[in-house]
Amino acid sequence: METFFSLLERRVHITHSLLCVGLDPHPNDLPQANADAALDFCVRLVRETSRYAAAYKPNAAFFELYGPEGWAALKRVIEVVQEESHRTGSLTPVILDAKRGDIASTAEAYARSAFEKLGAHAITLSPYLGEDSLAPFLADRERGVFLLCKTSNPGAGDVQDLKLADGRTVYEQVALLAQQWNRNGNVGLVVGATQPEALSHVRALSPDVWLLAPGIGAQGGDLETALRAGLRADGAGMLIPVSRAISRAANWNRAAAEWRDAIERMRHAMTAGRRPQTAVSRPRSAVVGLAQALVDSQCVRFGSFTLKSGLQSPIYLDLRRLISHPPILKLAARAYAGVLAGLRFDRLAGLPYAALPIGTAVALEMNRPLLYPRREVKDYGTKAAIEGDYAAGETVVVLDDLATTGDTKLEAIQKLEAAGLKVRDIVVLIDREQGAREALAAAGYTLHAVTTLRELLALWRESGAVTAAQYDEVMAFLAG
């Protein structure tokens, strides 16, 4: 059974489009303000634009205002979208823009109305009543929801920008909660294209979720800016709803084609050659979110600490704490996966102890097998030096949390190679840039890092997470 978003991704692939055509039959745009006129308007719009639409988004309010006849018209519009799907060769998702939000039996009734009676594939919802209010909509993984996160209206900040006790905004908390609630792979977020900074923050906090980004066109959002802020690393993960800029154009077919093509040109230009050839391989937005998450979880601390190497450090990175913060651990795993996607290997090898939970999270994220070299060989049972299934001659990529001097990596690699495994690459979350890359390269191995300590320090300085004095002290320490 597929999810709503696998349906959407297939449609995007077939149509080469991220365009979501809004079906908003404003009374002022109709020859008569009634349900029949609204139906005729939307049916003609669908038939003119179906070749170019990745999805449609009918606004329930413009149908509900006509009472029972309007509700019947909305149902017929959704049916027409599916009839047109047969001409384009793939089912076209319909996202009901209803912004529902209620609890218990009321939420269940809303879900049945949208999905069973109307036949919509997804719906926009308010998350502010919590997970139980969303449960009836999320129960069927073939149906999707887009949660209001950072909306495009001028007053959105009245609530969504409020700061919580931990310094995070309400909308950022919604973005993190969405990942917890996304157990069936059917949760997306609504983030206005008029809010590019928020789009960037949400994409960093939720690297893989689909974003519905209204506000382009009549509301003044800039298409290129929005795409740069909100696209996933793969150039997808974002729907651009366009309503009046198409429905009020002289030629609907041509307008839809022009919007589809403009989006495609921009996203291909942005993603062409995106994977850098350096050892640090990831979009900057992902590192911005990770930097903030490390501070929030206290995985980074400042003071005076003795490292394993014996060096005294003014900063301590304690990534073992990630196990107590599942959303951040998942964020880290996805960051690792972005680097690993460019490497060739048979298995992952996590190093005890900090990288074992990280390695497990990465293995689950990528559906790749994991093993690990024991620190102490067992003197009982199988007396294994390597835990996990493997065959001699296979290539493993070594995972660790940090890189400082590289000594522990070399010790572990010796055990792996003694077991007949091949090692070429090591991937860490953070390179402290204190000699590990050079030491590993001298031994014939390549170190890859999601980010570096200097990059994180710059981001922490920008956000105010570190003082100028702390920044200067750590930079002096790194300079040696």
The closest of 102, 83, 108, 82 to 93, measured between CA atoms, is 82
**Tokens representing residue 21 in the block:** 């055509």
The closest of 300, 428, 457, 278 to 355, measured between CA atoms, is 428
- Give the Å distances, CA to CA, from 462 to 137, 292, 366, 396, 456: 39, 11, 32, 37, 10
Residue 163: how many other CB atoms lie within 10 Å: 10
The closest of 125, 52, 56 to 95, measured between CA atoms, is 56
pLDDT bracket for residue 278 (50, 70, 90): very low
Cα of 334 vs its chain's centroid, Å: 9
Listing DSSP states for 48-95 in one string gives: HHTTT-SEEEEBTHHHHTTTHHHHHHHHHHHHHHHHHHHHHTSPPPBE
Q: Look-up: residue for tokens 């495994």?
A: 421
Give pLDDT tens digits for 137-162. Answer: 999 989 999 999 999 888 888 999 99
DSSP state of 448: E
330: part of which helix (H) or strand (E)? helix 326-340
- Has residue 277 got a pLDDT over 80? no
Rounded CA separation 229/469 (Å):
31
Rounded CA separation 394/414 (Å):
15
pLDDT bracket for residue 381 (50, 70, 90): low
In the chain, pLDDT over 90 holds for what percent of residues? 58
Q: Look-up: residue for tokens 């998350």?
A: 127
Give pLDDT tens digits for 58-111. Answer: 999 999 999 999 999 999 999 999 998 877 667 899 999 999 999 889 999 999
Backbone angle region of 435, left / alpha / beta, with phi > 0 → left and psi within -120 to 50 → alpha:
left
Residue 357, CB-side half-sphere exposure with 13 Å CA sphere? 13
Please state, rounded to an integer, the average pLDDT across all residues of the chain.
Answer: 89
Helix (H, G, I), strand (E, B) or coil at 166: coil
**Tokens representing residue 31 in the block:** 């020859």
Q: What are the residues facing 57 on neighbouring strands?
A: 22
The closest of 183, 191, 193 to 226, measured between CA atoms, is 193
- In terms of Cβ atoms closer than 10 Å to its own Cβ (0-12, 13-18, 19+), residue 410 is middle
pLDDT value of residue 279? 36
Q: Determine the average pLDDT of the residues in 433-455.
A: 90
pLDDT value of residue 272? 61
Rounded CA separation 410/471 (Å):
31
Confirm if 445 and 452 have CB atoms less than 8 A apart: no
- Has residue 176 got a pLDDT over 70? yes
User: What are the structural domains of the chain?
Assistant: 4-271 (3.20.20.70), 284-479 (3.40.50.2020)
Backbone angle region of 146, left / alpha / beta, with phi > 0 → left and psi within -120 to 50 → alpha:
beta
Q: Determine the average pLDDT of the residues in 388-407.
A: 93
Residue 5, CB-side half-sphere exposure with 13 Å CA sphere? 20
- Has residue 479 got a pLDDT over 80? no
pLDDT value of residue 88? 63
Phi/psi at 317 (5° precision)? -105, 110
Helix (H, G, I), strand (E, B) or coil at 186: coil
| Residues assigned a catalytic role | 99
Confirm if 321 and 404 have CB atoms less than 8 A apart: no
pLDDT value of residue 429? 95
pLDDT bracket for residue 276 (50, 70, 90): very low
Q: What is the pTM of this model?
A: 0.60
| Sign of the torsion formed by the C-alpha atoms of 372, 280, 223 and 256 | negative
**Tokens representing residue 254 in the block:** 């041509």
474: part of which helix (H) or strand (E)? helix 468-479
Backbone angle region of 185, left / alpha / beta, with phi > 0 → left and psi within -120 to 50 → alpha:
left
Ranges 37-41, 304-308, 334-338, 383-387, most confident: 37-41
